[in-house]
Amino acid sequence: MSRQHELTQEDRSKLGAPARDEAMRDSRTEASYWLSRELSLFGDVMEQGGAAALVWTSADALVVSRRDTRLPYFKQSVAKMEREYSTPVFVRESGGTAVRVGPGVVNVALVYCHPRGCMEAFDVGYGELLRLVTYGLSDLGLCLELGAVDGAYCDGAHNLVSRGLKIAGTAQRRSARKFGATLVHGSLLVSVDLPSMIAQLNDFYTTAGAPTQYLASACTTVERELNLVASSDAGTNNLVGAVQSRIQACAKRWTMIRKFDQDCA
């Protein structure tokens, strides 16, 4: 991904970061591929109109905002994430703070242009993401809403929330060029070790020079909400696959409806 943060070889030597092993390269390539796809679709819709959606999972990675790269010890923290957690760090082109993606997280990205080139209200994209994910999970009995959650990572008014607990982080990027476009994306926690994830996020920010006190107790997962305990990796994969398939089907319908509405506008 051309805009992602990269440590130079000199940086790695100074910071004691090891050479990447094969697993690290695979993780970085896989996550960066999907982030690049999101930006590519955003550019296409901005220039040509239309709508598109992506639903994806990846190997473990931290995805941070451009603002995070300005923290005083950002490079040192990136090196520590790679050295101690075997987790690469990528920079996304939307707001918010760091999130962790991985095999137990289903990521959803919606990209669309605006009617007659007029930018829609900021909340519209988050509302569409909420409705799509809620509809995709409706037969599982989950009921989601938008809201802030005290103590949650990457907190804001547009978290996806279940029973007062954060189950997905969201962020958005907008452009008024040509057709005008919005990219709104979210990371749905399906089957995740929350204490481990939150501890890593806190460590990332503490090392980077901006200590945080995120709480695992402020978050939940689809697995927890369904009172499921995966007894094996296969069980976890089955749940993630089922959630991803449901949301992909909804995303396909959403894209068709969005394009139809734009054609009729």
Averaged pLDDT for residues 194-198? 98
CATH code of 148's domain: 3.30.930.10
pLDDT level of residue 122 (50, 70, 90 thresholds): confident
Residue 120, pLDDT score: 73
User: What are the backbone dihedrals phi and psi of residue 173, each rounded to the nearest 5 degrees, phi first?
Assistant: -135, 140
The burial class, CB within 10 Å (0-12 / 13-18 / 19+), for 73 is middle
Q: Please report whether residue 3 resides in a domain.
A: no
> What's the domain range around 59?
9-264
- Residue in the block written with tokens 């369904």: 226
Tell me what percent of the residues of the chain surpass a pLDDT of 90: 67
Q: How far apart are CA 52 and CA 110, in angstroms?
A: 6
* Amino acid identity for residue 95 in this structure: G
Q: Averaging pLDDT over each range in 13-17, 112-116, 121-125, 129-133, which range is the top one?
A: 129-133
Which residues are CB-neighbours of 57 under 8 A, at least 6 positions away?
Answer: 101, 102, 103, 104, 105, 106, 107, 240, 244
Does residue 1 form part of some domain? no
pLDDT of residue 114: 78
Please give the DSSP secondary-structure letter assigned to residue 95: S
Does residue 10 register a pLDDT over 50? no
Dihedral (Cα; 152, 154, 155, 160), 10-degree rounding: -90
Query: What's the whole-model pTM score?
Result: 0.86
Q: pLDDT band for 133, please (50, 70, 90 cuts).
A: very high
Asked if the model's pLDDT at residue 83 lies above 50, the reply is: yes
In a domain, 64, yes or no: yes
Amino acid at position 157, single letter: A
Question: Is 4 within the bounds of a domain?
Answer: no
Looking at residue 221, the DSSP 8-state letter turns out to be -
Average pLDDT along the chain? 86
Note the helical H segments in the chain: 9-15, 22-48, 74-85, 122-137, 194-208, 222-225, 233-264
* Domain-located, residue 69: yes
Ordered DSSP codes for 10-77: HHHHHHTPPPP-HHHHHHHHHHHHHHHHHHHHHHHHHHH--EEEEEE--SSEEEEEGGGGGSTTHHHH
Residue among 154, 219, 250, 264 flagged as catalytic: 154
- Assign 29 a pLDDT band (cuts: 50, 70, 90): low
> Based on the structure, what is the number of domains in the chain?
1
What average pLDDT does this structure show over 177-205?
94
Rounded distance, CA 113 to CA 182, Å?
6
Has 154 been annotated as catalytic? Answer: yes
Question: What pLDDT, in 10s, does the model give residues 222-260?
Answer: 999 998 655 556 566 789 999 999 999 999 999 998 876
Flag whether 180 is in a domain.
yes
